[in-house]
Amino acid sequence: MDKMDHINIQQVLEQTVQETVSEAEKGEVASYIPELARQDKRRLGISVCLKDGTLLSAGDAHLPFTLQSISKIFSLMVALCEHGERYVFERVGKEPTGDPFNSIIKLETIKPHKPLNPMINAGAIAVAGMIPGATVEKRLEKIMRLLRKMTGNPELRVNYDVYQSEKQTADRNRALAYFLKESKILSGDVEETLDLYFRHCSIEVTTVEVARLAAILAADGYDIVSGEQLLPREVARICKTFMVTCGMYNASGEFAIDVGIPAKSGVAGGIMASVPQRMGLGVFGPALDEKGNSVAGVKLLQRLSDMWDLSIF
Amino acid sequence: MDKMDHINIQQVLEQTVQETVSEAEKGEVASYIPELARQDKRRLGISVCLKDGTLLSAGDAHLPFTLQSISKIFSLMVALCEHGERYVFERVGKEPTGDPFNSIIKLETIKPHKPLNPMINAGAIAVAGMIPGATVEKRLEKIMRLLRKMTGNPELRVNYDVYQSEKQTADRNRALAYFLKESKILSGDVEETLDLYFRHCSIEVTTVEVARLAAILAADGYDIVSGEQLLPREVARICKTFMVTCGMYNASGEFAIDVGIPAKSGVAGGIMASVPQRMGLGVFGPALDEKGNSVAGVKLLQRLSDMWDLSIF
Amino acid sequence: MDKMDHINIQQVLEQTVQETVSEAEKGEVASYIPELARQDKRRLGISVCLKDGTLLSAGDAHLPFTLQSISKIFSLMVALCEHGERYVFERVGKEPTGDPFNSIIKLETIKPHKPLNPMINAGAIAVAGMIPGATVEKRLEKIMRLLRKMTGNPELRVNYDVYQSEKQTADRNRALAYFLKESKILSGDVEETLDLYFRHCSIEVTTVEVARLAAILAADGYDIVSGEQLLPREVARICKTFMVTCGMYNASGEFAIDVGIPAKSGVAGGIMASVPQRMGLGVFGPALDEKGNSVAGVKLLQRLSDMWDLSIF
Amino acid sequence: MDKMDHINIQQVLEQTVQETVSEAEKGEVASYIPELARQDKRRLGISVCLKDGTLLSAGDAHLPFTLQSISKIFSLMVALCEHGERYVFERVGKEPTGDPFNSIIKLETIKPHKPLNPMINAGAIAVAGMIPGATVEKRLEKIMRLLRKMTGNPELRVNYDVYQSEKQTADRNRALAYFLKESKILSGDVEETLDLYFRHCSIEVTTVEVARLAAILAADGYDIVSGEQLLPREVARICKTFMVTCGMYNASGEFAIDVGIPAKSGVAGGIMASVPQRMGLGVFGPALDEKGNSVAGVKLLQRLSDMWDLSIF
């Protein structure tokens, strides 16, 4: 691929979007959050941010969507930067799980009662609990500041309607949070931490911004656009590792075999994929498979991985 | 036993208390609710309410303690009387479980997500959610009114300190409740239902009152003292059945074999035991075994069951 | 009922069989054992053995069927008589479980890895492992001898076709047995113990014989026909207790509420029900509900319990 | 590292072995297989096979040990080559699990009853069942032939004592196998498939051979020594992906973060680690941590990964 010029890449993106958009028929938009249920399931967009900072897009690349679980990567970044690895991993594990993202079983069966990893809901809520600040707004600001710096978009904001919608339909997450509180994994006010969690899940982006975020992770934290190291290399690597072992819910193993790129998906239909040292990809396709991943988005990434040999394995 | 006179019974009670009080050394008072942790673990008391209404007591029979899980029987009674069997058992099951009383696992693994029975915490919270009323106070009043009528004690009240203590240390119960809310088993405000649950658990009694409650259950709802049928026979039978299959937490099977009396225990150290058609027993001994049952209380009941042939089997 | 004469009882039995036989339409014969799958699902029969030894029957009371799980009660009797309570309950628990009869999960999750009770398959295999003897034949003989004595039928035998059929389709039971072997609950040869287990499950009876077995349990081990105490009272009581807490698979709690008689069912469609101090009942109806209990048989017992007030609660 | 010459690499290996050998004190040799329990826990050896085929070793690199779970990679290779991806992954999943390697729970809870991945015991037994052949010997021969070709060692053989020892202490594996048989994942004779599984686990190697195996995987199936493509690139990639997501038992996630190299460990103390396009590593250190991985071996790989920047993330 290194030899391909930008025109070629652009053509491949457009053609592949066209070829895979119909996959969306096999999926359904997320129904459990009313605001998400309204999306048009036939949308599909992709942006690529190359090593040199070049941004190329195809399809519905400029439609806004919320990060949802993709945001778990960035709250983890903030927690790691604020507290260091030791503190964070005393409260959340590093292991993938065969259970669904919202499962509560392992919280009870595993001793000590620690979420298995920061990508499942229990783990991400535990991480949200580690973001310091006097108010929810100030805690959110820590995540927003990082995301604005990484995307270069100072306008980045929370989609208030989605946030409200999540907040009102989140009793399973409340169950997880109170279990964590009981187990001393969460301290402080549970509703405030959940509030922070719902907010960071509701941050609105486009594939362009997700591609930039992915590219910085691909470059181990270095941002070619600003010329700055925006996060420690070690933090970037930890994030990419979680993206491989548990970034695609309990289809992570299959995605690793079929696509082979560190990636994180969200139930709004987004996928952030980082090809180490090569490129970042942002994908949006709201029709989800039964595991919660964008059907057409996964197919699109699989095609590109095959063509461009993007697998890390 | 029918031929024994009251003096004999009184002597047996006193002697058996003396012989079993030292069993308390093997247990510990409940530690997870601070107010309960303060109790003196060497206490042991018993009251018996015979078929003819005669009340006999021995040991620490006049010390107040809170009903805790024993109250689950009475909230179930109210729910059954208010809504009927069908409504209640569409929302909570009838099956014993091998899991601990506060386990959340089966809520996730069993489809539909219905608590297995009304004696585990998840089931009792579901039942609390069925008690109707405009406010928590009015809902509690329904349970209090029944208990006051059954005990003949119009002064019965909630121990406010224990209630506060429970409320502040109840995050596992919150987790259960929000899971039930998510599963549509609970409707209405979760915190209000939990508040009701903590209050009815904190109703203060003595073994005398518990013996009277047990005697009415033993007589299928008929109260010899007032000469009234205080609850439908069918409701009394359902309660006694749950007392056998799941009244003693996950030691119910063992208790059924060793003692054989329908009984319900609470973590404050109380046990309510109903010998069908014969007598009601109230026991108090705050030192608990690892399953949550009064160590000395169980031993005391086992001795009496052996001597008086109280097993229903 | 005590005042009813035999003619009345006979009439009630015949009429109730007629009224409930159509319930069989709602169930299906057991399909996992090929020999059982061949049964005619519309059969329904009942026998009652009264306190005075009188035997009354209605419907298909003389059709042979295999004991299946009902036999677990009798292997437990032999184990208790051979080794005593302490030995037996060190290797198998006394607690009911919310899991299906063939579940393996709790063997792994509960420490020590002991089956929860002797009525689930894991527990019954553990009990089979306790029956002593130099060969499988001699071990089986211990159970057969007890059953022949209790039923008064010296011709009682294993249905060889059913036994062969079970043996060839029993890999889940093998999985349970090897797990028990690993956990040191089973010692000795696993295939031999399984062979014994399949054989005692395949003992062929009619409802007449099951009613007699039930009557002896109802009379705490005393056999009115022979005038002998055939088993210790304590053993009879333990068996009846397990029949209440876990005799009807994971519908035991519901059966206890709806019918209230200690009972044990088998997947061939048999139910053995013991009304303490009053009567034994044997029922056969091969159409099973999804929990594995005879649909029409349960209904028939429920009607009789309502009419004759047979509930122990 | 590319600029380092062989002398430097040799020095680093020797020094790092010296620095990490004392880590073994924190672990214990595997105790559940008697033959393995006899090993000297202070051993530590490593071999590296570079891209150009150069082999360098340090420490106890010439001590023989058995592959144990490392062999799961090679039985998977044979199954994939014989049957193709589709056939194999219809019978075994691709997802990591948070459960221990010998857990049976998910076999029951996940529908259909398919092992989550081929690296846990249940999955590897399922894979062994896919290796075709008229006899166990012929089936084993398929794996041996591949291993002999890859290692270039025609003398490779099964350690008979370890095989016998495993076979006699393998009841948990038998439980898994019979569960798989029940679920139609395994067909054919269970004991024969287990026999094959125990044999391929007992193949004896040294770190030199493991390093060569790892190097061929690192080179996507190409063997620099023979100049041949020994297995399809796609098969090599699938294997490396499983090594990342579930190669180090339920410490795979932690290893991916701390070391970042696709690796597979075995309870005899071996680790096979493949750095894509760069090198293969073979490590032996029999003292295991509580997850079943070589304590000193993991530390040694972590040091080298840090120094030589071997992480794929």
DSSP string, A25-57: GG-B---SSHHHHTS-TT--EEEEEETTS-EEE
Put simply, the answer to whether A174 touches B171 (Cβ < 8 Å) is no
Give the chain D residue nearest C187 (alpha carbons). Answer: D171
- Say yes or no: do domains A6-65+206-308 and A69-201 share a fold: yes
Model pLDDT, residue D6 = 87
Mean pLDDT, rounded, of chain A: 94
pLDDT at position B1 over 80: no
Between helix C295-308 and helix C6-20 the angle, nearest 10°, is 140
For residue A82, the surrounding DSSP H or E stretch is helix A71-91
Per-position DSSP letters for B130-195, written without gaps between them: T---SSHHHHHHHHHHHHHHHHT-TT--B-HHHHHHHHHT-HHHHHHHHHHHHTTSS-S-HHHHHH
Fold type of domain A6-65+206-308: Beta-lactamase (3.40.710)
Chain D residues near residue A276 by CB distance under 8 angstroms: 312-313
* Main-chain phi, psi angles of C214, to 5 degrees: -65, -35
Tell me which chain D residue has its CA closest to the CA of residue A219. D313
Report which DSSP code applies to A1. Answer: -
Specify the pLDDT at position A265.
98
Report how far residue A55's alpha carbon sits from residue A51's, in angstroms, rounded to the nearest whole number: 10
Whether cis (ω within 30° of 0) applies to the bond prior to A112 is: yes
- Give pLDDT, residue A130: 98
State the CB neighbour count (10 A cutoff) for residue B84: 11
- B79-104 tens-digit pLDDT: 999 999 999 999 999 999 888 888 98
Residue B229's beta-bridge partner residues?
A: B222
Q: Which of D174, D176, D180 is the best mutation test for C, with the most CBs of C within 10 A?
A: D174
> Considering chain A, what percentage of its residues have pLDDT values greater than 70?
99
- Report the candidate in A278, A208, A243 with the shortest Cα–Cα distance to residue A47: A208
Q: Is B72 a catalytic residue?
A: yes
B175 part of contact set with chain A, CB < 8 Å: yes
**Residues C152, C55: Cα–Cα separation, whole Å:** 13
State the Cα–Cα distance between residues A306 and A310, nearest whole angstrom.
Answer: 7
Q: Is A32 on the interface with B (CB under 8 A)?
A: no
The percent of residues above 90 in pLDDT, for chain B, comes to: 86
Q: What is the residue extent of each domain of chain D?
A: 6-10+25-68+206-308, 71-201
Report the neighbours of C using a cutoff of 3 or more CB pairs below 8 angstroms: B, D
Distance CA(B296)–CA(B302), nearest Å, equals 10
- Greater confidence (A109 vs A236) lies with A236
Which of C111-115, D79-83, D85-89, D221-225 shows the lowest per-residue confidence on average (mean pLDDT)?
A: C111-115
Range in A140-154, B127-141, C28-42, D171-185 with the lowest mean pLDDT: C28-42
Preceding peptide of A64 cis, ω within 30°? no
The 10 Å CB-count burial string (b at 16+, else e) for D12-33 is bbeebbeebbebbeebebbeeb
How many interface pairs between C and D have CB atoms less than 8 angstroms apart? 55
Banded pLDDT at A37 (limits 50, 70, 90): confident
Known active-site residue C249: yes
Asked if pLDDT for residue D262 goes beyond 90, the answer is yes
ipTM above 0.90, yes or no: yes
Q: Is C295 annotated as a binding residue?
A: no
Residue C7: band (very low, low, confident or very high) from pLDDT cuts 50, 70, 90: confident
- B108/A109 touch (CB, cutoff 8 Å), yes or no: no
Q: Taking CB atoms and an 8 Å cutoff, what residues of chain C touch D174?
A: 174-175, 178, 181, 190
Distance from CA of residue C76 to its chain's centroid? 11
C22 is in an annotated binding site: no
> What is the rounded distance in angstroms from the CA atom of residue B209 to the CA atom of residue B203?
11
C167 in reach of chain D (CB within 8 A): no
Over 60: is that where the pLDDT of A63 sits?
A: yes
Q: Considering only the beta carbons, identify the residue of A105, A172, A174 that sits closest to B105.
A: A105
Task: Provide the CATH topology of domain B6-67+204-308.
Answer: Beta-lactamase (3.40.710)
C253 touches B: beta carbon within 8 Å = yes
Task: Give the closest of A245, A250, A254 to D253, CB-based.
Answer: A245
Average pLDDT over residues A242-258: 95
Residue C110, exposed/middle/buried by CB under 10 A (0-12, 13-18, 19+)?
Answer: middle
Is A197 one of the catalytic residues? yes
Write the CB contacts of B7 (distance below 8 Å, at least 6 apart in sequence): none
Q: Which of B29, B47, B71, B72 is catalytic?
A: B72
Identify the band that residue D230 occupies on the pLDDT scale cut at 50, 70 and 90. very high
Task: Suggest the residue from B241, B243, B252, B277 to mutate for an interface test with chain C (most C CBs closer than 10 A).
Answer: B241
Helix (H, G, I), strand (E, B) or coil at B112: coil
Is residue D8 pLDDT above 60, yes or no?
yes
Task: Spell out the long-range contacts of A75-78 with Cβ–Cβ below 8 A and sequence spacing 24 or more.
Answer: A75/A124, A75/A127, A75/A128, A75/A131, A75/A143, A75/A197, A75/A200, A76/A118, A76/A124, A76/A127, A76/A238, A76/A239, A76/A242, A77/A146, A77/A231, A77/A235, A77/A239, A78/A131, A78/A142, A78/A143, A78/A146
DSSP SS3 for B225: coil
**Rounded CA separation C95/B293 (Å):** 15
Q: Which residues of D touch A93 (CB under 8 A)?
A: 253
CB contacts of C309 in chain B (<8 Å) are none
* Binary contact (D117, A240; C-beta < 8 A): no
In this prediction, residue B169 carries a pLDDT of 83
Closest alpha carbon to B17 in B60, B56, B49, B48: B60
The confidence score (pLDDT) of residue B196 equals 98
Q: What percent of chain A has pLDDT over 90?
A: 86
Q: Using H for helix, E for strand and C for coil, what is the string for C171-238?
A: HHHHHHHHHHHHCCCCCCCHHHHHHHHHHHHCEEECHHHHHHHHHHHHCCCEECCCCEECCCHHHHHH
Answer whether C45's CB lies under 8 Å from C59's CB. yes
Report phi then psi at B64, rounded to 5: -75, 145
Mean pLDDT of the region D110-120 = 91
Chain D residues close to A98, C-beta within 8 Å: 95-99, 106, 110, 116
Chain B: closest CA distance from residue A109 (Å): 8
**Cβ of A3 under 8 Å from any chain B Cβ?**
no
Q: How far is CA B197 from CA A173, B69, B166, C153, in A?
A: 22, 10, 10, 56
Residue C304 CA to residue B237 CA, distance in Å, equals 17
D104 touches chain A (CB under 8 A): no
Which residues from chain C sit within 8 angstroms of residue B250, using beta carbons? 95
Distance, in Å, from the CA atom of A96 to the CA atom of D100, rounded to the nearest integer, reads 12
Q: Residue A154: how many CA atoms within 13 Å on its side-chain side? A: 0
Q: Is D78 on the interface with C (CB under 8 A)?
A: no
Is D197 a known active-site residue?
A: yes
Closest CA to C286 of C94, C35, C14: C35
The pLDDT-based confidence of D4 (bands split at 50, 70, 90) is low
Checking if the pLDDT of D234 tops 70, the result is yes
Bridge partners (DSSP) listed for residue C294: C288
DSSP D294: B
DSSP helix/strand/coil, A81: helix
Share of chain C above pLDDT 90, in %: 86
Segment among A38-42, A192-196, D258-262 with least mean pLDDT? A38-42
In words, the CATH class of domain C69-201 is alpha beta
In residues, how long is chain A?
Answer: 313
Average confidence (pLDDT) over C208-216: 98
The DSSP code for A226 is T
* Pairs of residues, one from chain A and one from chain B, whose beta carbons lie less than 8 Å apart: 55
Residue from C206, C203, C233 nearest C217 by CA: C233
Element (H, E) at C307: helix C295-308
Chain B hits for A171, CB-CB cut-off 8 Å, are: 178-179, 181-182, 190
The answer to whether the Cβ–Cβ distance between A175 and B171 falls below 8 Å is: no
> Tens digit of pLDDT for each residue in A120-170?
999 999 999 999 999 999 999 999 999 999 999 999 999 999 999 999 889
Q: What is the second-level CATH architecture of the domain D6-10+25-68+206-308? A: 3-Layer(aba) Sandwich (3.40)
Q: Is A173 annotated as a binding residue?
A: yes
Radius of gyration of chain C (CA): 18
pLDDT digits (tens, 9 = 90+) for B217-266: 999 999 999 999 999 999 999 999 999 999 999 899 999 999 999 999 99
Closest-CA distance, A261 to chain D, in angstroms, reads 10
Q: Residue D252: in which H helix or E strand, if any?
A: helix D252-258
**Span B125-152, mean pLDDT?**
97
**Residue D293: is its pLDDT beyond 60?**
yes
Task: Please state the rounded mean pLDDT for residues D108-121.
Answer: 91
pLDDT at C3: 52
B283, pLDDT greater than 80: yes
- Closest chain D residue to the Cα of A107, Cα to Cα: D98
pLDDT at C2: 53
Q: Chains with ≥3 Cβ pairs under 8 A against B?
A: A, C
Contact yes or no for D253 and A106 at CB 8 A: no
Q: What residue of B is the nearest CA neighbor of C250?
A: B95
Residue D250's pLDDT is: 87
How far is Cα A142 from Cα A130, in angstroms, rounded to an integer? 12
Q: Which residue in A253, A276, A313 is closest to D94 by CB distance?
A: A253
Chain B environment of C241 (Cβ under 8 Å): 253, 256-257, 260, 313
Candidates D12, D267, D283, D298; catalytic one: D267
User: Does domain D71-201 correspond to CATH entry 3.40.710.10?
Assistant: yes
Q: Does the pLDDT at position B287 exceed 70?
A: yes
- The closest of A263, A271, A211 to A44, measured between CA atoms, is A271
Tell me whether A190 touches chain B (CB under 8 Å): yes
Chain B CB contacts of A181 below 8 Å: 171, 174
- Which one is catalytic: C57, C69, C252, C294? C69
Q: Is the pLDDT of residue C45 over 70?
A: yes
The pair of structure tokens assigned to C10 is: 């006979």
Q: Is C273 on the interface with B (CB under 8 A)?
A: no
Of C98, C253, C312, the CB nearest to B99: C98
| Residue C95, min C-alpha distance to chain B (Å) | 4
The one catalytic residue in C17, C127, C197, C210 is C197
Please choose, from the candidates B223, B205, B226, the residue with its C-alpha nearest in 3D space to the C-alpha of residue B215. B223
pLDDT tens-digit map of B112-138: 889 999 999 999 999 999 999 999 999
Q: Are B280 and B217 in contact (CB under 8 A)?
A: yes
Read off the pLDDT of each residue in C56-63 and give the average, rounded to a whole number. Answer: 96
pLDDT tens by residue, B297-313: 999 999 999 999 999 98
Taking only the tens place, the pLDDT of each residue in D13-49 is 999 999 999 999 999 998 877 878 888 999 999 999 9
Give the position of tokens 């596992």.
Answer: B172
| pLDDT > 70 in chain C, percent | 99
Residue C153 pLDDT grade (very low, low, confident, very high; cuts 50, 70, 90):
very high
- The pLDDT, as a whole number, for residue D110 is 85
Q: With an 8 Å Cβ cutoff, are C104 and D179 in contact?
A: yes
Asked if D176's CB is within 8 angstroms of C175's CB, the reply is: yes
